[in-house]
């Protein structure tokens, strides 16, 4: 049947309208795609900037720490710190008086600190706590007095943000003599482990409130212990990221496992003990993501 002219005209008009709608839809989609690409590009640029800034912050934070393997005549010290993120809140510190010719008894001070929280905020507070700790070494304090002082001076930085700094502090006095002494004070951190040449391991039962809360002196101050050392003794300081390390089955490394690993670890050198600890922790954790910084300081009396 012949198609009427008016029907053909209506069809063409409708078709043109559909084509116009499709063209408009296509244009809107193209605009949305372009906007999405621009947004994605903008986020990519922002992310790259953030990652670059974090990488720089990591370098700066690492530069605040002392060299991990100092050289001393009568003692071995090796330090290891791995943040869970690009930057973290853990730190270690040490100081020696052995370079002073007038000192008859060489003294070494060591500390492991663990600031509460994660990421950038913890890293900023870490820098403050480390700075205050270093400044305190110019003052004559007993270990317990030093912790009481630090508890007070970092409080303006920690208390408003409800943060704190756990810190284990030790002094090794007379490392160059036959009767060195280990002095320990602790503020909410893991007490040191001592491995003796006969293979036995002990950990002094000494605690205390974390720094920056004003609770240390309020509840009687910080306890201090003194222990005799012998040649070949190894002292191990760790942050709680070690005992709280998780494996793929969501189990913690734990205190018992840490003590067992220390007992089985080689005592030939501080470096060998640190390598063994890191190997055992890595074997336990496998591919599991860790959510806390890990710091280990190993010291061996060699004189």
66-301 classified as CATH 3.60.40.10: yes
pTM (two decimals): 0.82
Within the chain, residue ranges assigned H as helices are 5-64, 119-136, 143-153, 155-158, 215-218, 240-243, 255-264, 270-285
What is the per-residue pLDDT for 124?
A: 85
pLDDT of residue 186: 97
pLDDT score of 119: 77
Q: Which residue has the higher pLDDT, 48 or 284?
A: 284
Who has greater pLDDT, 55 or 122? 122
For 189-201, write each residue's pLDDT tens digit. 999 999 999 999 9
Domain residue extents for the chain? 1-64, 66-301
CA angle 254, 275, 86 (to 5 degrees): 75
């Amino acid at each position: 049947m012949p198609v009427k002219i008016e029907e053909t005209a209506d069809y063409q008009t409708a078709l043109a309208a559909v084509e116009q709608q499709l063209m408009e839809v296509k244009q809107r989609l193209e605009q949305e795609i372009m906007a999405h690409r621009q947004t994605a590009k903008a986020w990519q640029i922002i992310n790259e900037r953030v990652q670059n800034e974090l990488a720089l912050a990591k370098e700066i934070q690492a530069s605040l720490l002392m060299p991990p393997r100092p050289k001393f005549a009568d003692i071995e010290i090796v330090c290891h710190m791995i943040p869970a993120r690009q930057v973290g809140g853990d730190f270690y510190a040490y100081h020696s008086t052995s370079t002073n010719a007038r000192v008859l008894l060489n003294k070494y001070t060591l500390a492991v600190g663990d600031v509460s929280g994660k990421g950038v905020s913890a890293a900023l507070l870490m820098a403050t706590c480390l700075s205050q700790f270093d400044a305190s070494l110019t003052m004559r304090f007993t270990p317990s007095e030093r912790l009481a002082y630090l508890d007070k001076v970092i409080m303006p930085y920690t208390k408003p943000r409800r943060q704190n700094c756990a810190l284990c502090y030790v002094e090794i006095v007379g490392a160059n003599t036959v009767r060195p002494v280990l002095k320990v004070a602790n503020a909410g951190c893991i007490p040191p482990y001592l491995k003796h040449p006969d293979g036995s391991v002990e950990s002094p039962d000494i605690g205390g409130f974390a720094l920056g809360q004003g609770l240390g002196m309020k509840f009687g101050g910080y306890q201090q212990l003194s222990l005799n050392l012998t040649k070949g003794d190894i002292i191990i300081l760790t942050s709680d990221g070690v005992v709280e390390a998780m494996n793929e089955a969501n189990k913690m490394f734990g205190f018992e496992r840490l003590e067992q690993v220390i007992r089985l670890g080689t005592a030939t050198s501080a470096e060998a003990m640190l390598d063994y600890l890191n190997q055992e922790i890595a074997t336990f954790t496998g591919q599991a993501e860790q959510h806390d910084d890990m710091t280990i300081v190993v010291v061996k009396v060699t004189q």
